[in-house]
A and B are shown apart, each in its own frame.
Chain A
Amino acid sequence: MMVKPEIMNRLKKVMAQIFGINEESINDDSSMDNIEEWDSLRHINLIIALEQEFGISFPDEDVALLTSVQLLAMAVSEAAEK
Chain B
Amino acid sequence: MNDIINSFLTKLSEVNPPQAKYVKSSLKMLDNSETTQLSEYISFYGNGFGGIAGVNACYDFICKEMLREEILFKRAQNEKYSLSSQEEAKEFVYSNDEYMKNYMIGLGISTFLWENHLKISRYFKENLPKDKCGNYLEIGVGHGQNFSEAIKLCKFDKYIGYDISEFSLKLTDATVKFMNPGYENYELILDDFTTASEGGKYDAIVCGEVLEHVENPQNLMKKIHNLAATDAFIYITTAVNSPALDHVHLFKSAEEVVVLFNECGFEVKSKLVLPYAGVSLEEAVKEKLTLNVAFVLNIKTI
Contact = CB atoms under 8 A, between A and B. Distances in A.
A37 B159 CA distance: 46
Contact of A44 (B17, B21, B65, B74): B74
A28 interface: no
B289 to A, nearest CB: 8
Interface in A45-60: 45, 47-48, 51, 60
Interface string B73-96: 011000000000000000000000
Given A39-B278, A60-B72, A44 B67 contact: yes
B276 interface: yes
B18 interface: yes
Interface stretch (A2-10, A11-19, A63-71, A74-82): A63-71
A29 interface: no
B279 interface: yes
Contacts, number: 44
B103 to A, nearest CB: 15
Interface in B48-78: 63-65, 67-68, 70-72, 74-75
A51 B289 CA distance: 20
Given A41-B278, A64-B64, A65-B64, A47 B17 contact: no
Contacts of A64: 63-65, 67-68, 71
Given A33-B21, A38-B18, A41-B276, A61 B68 contact: yes
Interface residues of B, number: 18
B71 A44 contact: yes
Question: Is chain A's binding surface mostly helix, strand, loop or mixed?
Answer: helix
Interface residues of A, number: 19
Contacts of A32: 17-18
Nearest to A48: B74
A43 B67 contact: yes
A59 B175 CA distance: 37
Q: Which of B74, B75, B289 gathers the greatest number of chain A CB atoms within 10 Å?
A: B75
A63 B22 CA distance: 19
Contact of B18 (A33, A47, A51): A33
A36 B208 CA distance: 34
Interface in B9-26: 17-18, 21-22
B64 to A, nearest CB: 4
Contacts of B64: 64-65
A11 B45 CA distance: 41
A63 B18 contact: no
A33 B19 CA distance: 9
Contacts of A22: none
A3 to B, nearest CB: 22
B45 to A, nearest CB: 22
A39 B279 CA distance: 12
Given A33-B18, A33-B21, 19 more contacts: A31-B18, A38-B18, A39-B22, A39-B278, A40-B67, A40-B70, A41-B279, A43-B67, A44-B70, A44-B71, A44-B74, A45-B74, A48-B74, A60-B68, A60-B72, A63-B67, A63-B68, A64-B71, A65-B64
Q: Which 10 A-B pairs have the closest CB atoms?
A: A32-B18, A64-B64, A64-B67, A33-B17, A63-B71, A64-B68, A44-B70, A47-B71, A48-B74, A44-B71
Interface of A: 31-33, 38-41, 43-45, 47-48, 51, 60-61, 63-65, 67
5 contacts: A31-B17, A31-B18, A40-B67, A44-B74, A64-B65
